[in-house]
């Protein structure tokens, strides 16, 4: 699909992440203004609440009287399509710009907020290269993948309360840790704190209790996607994860990018799954390409220093698509809600430079990673990690905006009296 030209000149440049083809959904404010829904276009944000009050885009509402996109998300695919068509008409080349111009606000200086109310959060483990790397480190190459991995999307239920929007700082967590040479565990700040490069799927339309959905149906339930960093305390995780899996190691924070890139904007970038090593059960079979060709990168900047891009990979590396993850999630009869967030799991590629976590990049700390001004095995206080992603179109990009967070030192012992 070629670039759809807008009367906003900034939206037509090849390096703009928010052309008319994109129209991602977020929540913004300026100064003391109340947060409200907006759509990114070029270097501006279209105020959807103001537009609706002015009688545009003419959909049954109100939809934008709240500072989150859940009312639109719950409206389902027909509403999403109508809204997109209206915005294309209002912002497209040749449109009457006077109708919309009063509702455009500069992106520069805007504060971006959580774009939707998160109902629940589930994190998967759908990247095969990541799973093989981690398994090789801990179990050896002959037992790298668990026996079920090639048959089922593995995941765990996380904490919606831990999800934060890009730009928010987070504290190094405390937890129980135990080194192999220690007889008993101790309570201490995590020394092996890490990031995970993921793609997050945002559920729009819900499913019903007791009623599984197909992969095709699951795909239509997804409103859009965000970049997602599921911060991980590897030393806490190593002690706690058997037999029930991650718990406190993953409860510190999960950072998402501020703009929801809709499924419609990503439609031209569908890509097939990697070759299946073993046939999937019929309920997980895909009716067509369900992955996306989205280039991804990770940058790490130490406090007071320059950033280093330490990873480049692609979302098409995922072995299980978000639609497969969502369909599997409902297979037990579990109902999905509007606002559910599904993390893909770490997206790593086949080479060292495409590994999506420090655990892999430093190979468990045994191979320190070179960055500007030093090295890293795991994150240090003051480090800022930024995830970026974009799909490359014919003369345009479909961008997500930065997904960034900075590590603050651990608090003093919270239980010391």
Using alpha carbons, select from 278, 279, 268 the residue that is nearest to residue 392.
268
Encoded tokens for 300: 């790490």
- CA 388, distance to chain mean position in Å, is 10
Element (H, E) at 330: helix 322-330
* DSSP H helices in 14-153: 48-53, 70-74, 77-91, 128-139
Q: Which among 103, 105, 113, 130 is annotated as catalytic?
A: 130
Is residue 103 annotated as a catalytic residue, yes or no? no
Burial 115-140 (b: 16+ CB within 10 A, else e): bbebebbbbbbbbbbbbbbbbbbeee
Q: Which residues pair with 187 in a beta bridge?
A: 176
4: number of Cβ within 10 Å: 18
Is the dihedral angle over the CA atoms 18, 19, 25, 27 positive or is it negative?
Answer: positive
C-alpha distances out from residue 99 to 21, 94, 391, Å? 20, 12, 30
Q: Tally the residues of the chain.
A: 417
Largest alpha-carbon pair distance within the chain? 73
How far apart (Å, rounded) are the C-alpha atoms in residues 312 and 317? Answer: 12
Q: Write phi, then psi, for 170 (nearest 5 degrees).
A: -140, 150
8 Å CB contact between 234 and 195: no
User: Which residues are catalytic, by number?
Assistant: 130
């Amino acid at each position: 699909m070629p670039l759809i030209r807008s009367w906003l000149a900034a939206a037509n440049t090849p390096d703009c992440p928010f052309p008319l083809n994109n129209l991602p959904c977020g929540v913004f404010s300026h100064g003391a203004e109340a947060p409200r829904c907006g759509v990114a276009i070029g270097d501006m944000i279209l105020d959807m609440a103001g537009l609706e009050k002015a009688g545009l885009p003419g959909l049954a509402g109100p939809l934008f009287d709240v500072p989150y996109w859940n009312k639109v998300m719950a409206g389902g695919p027909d509403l999403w399509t109508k809204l997109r068509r209206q915005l294309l008409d209002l912002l497209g080349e040749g449109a009457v710009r006077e109708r919309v111009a009063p509702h455009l606000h500069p992106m520069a200086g805007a504060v971006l907020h959580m774009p939707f109310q998160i109902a629940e959060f589930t994190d998967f483990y759908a990247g095969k290269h990541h799973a093989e790397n981690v398994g090789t480190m801990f179990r050896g190459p002959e037992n790298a993948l668990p026996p079920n991995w090639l048959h089922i999307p593995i995941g765990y239920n996380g904490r919606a309360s831990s999800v934060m929007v890009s730009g928010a700082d987070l504290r190094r967590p405390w937890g129980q840790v135990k080194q192999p040479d220690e007889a008993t565990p101790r309570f201490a700040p995590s020394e092996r704190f890490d990031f995970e490069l993921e793609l997050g799927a945002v559920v729009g339309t819900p499913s019903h209790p007791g009623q599984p959905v197909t992969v095709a149906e699951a795909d239509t339930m997804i409103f859009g996607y965000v970049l997602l960093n599921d911060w991980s305390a590897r030393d806490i995780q190593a002690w706690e994860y058997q037999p029930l899996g991650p718990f406190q190691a993953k409860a510190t924070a999960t950072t998402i990018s501020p703009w929801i890139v809709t499924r419609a904007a990503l439609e031209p970038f569908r890509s097939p799954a990697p070759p299946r090593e073993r046939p999937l059960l019929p309920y997980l079979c895909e009716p067509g390409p369900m992955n996306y060709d989205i280039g991804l990168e990770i940058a790490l900047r130490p406090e007071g220093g320059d950033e280093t891009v330490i990873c480049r990979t692609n979302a098409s590396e995922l072995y299980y698509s978000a639609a497969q993850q969502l369909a599997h999630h409902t297979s037990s009869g579990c109902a999905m809600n509007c606002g559910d967030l599904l993390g893909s799991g770490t997206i790593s590629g086949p080479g060292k430079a495409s590994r999506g976590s420090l655990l892999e990049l430093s190979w468990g700390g045994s191979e320190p990673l070179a960055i500007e001004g030093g090295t890293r095995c795991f994150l240090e206080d003051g480090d800022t990690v930024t995830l970026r992603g974009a799909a490359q179109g014919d003369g345009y990009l479909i961008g997500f905006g930065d997904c960034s967070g900075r590590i603050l030192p651990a608090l003093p012992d919270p239980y010391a009296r």
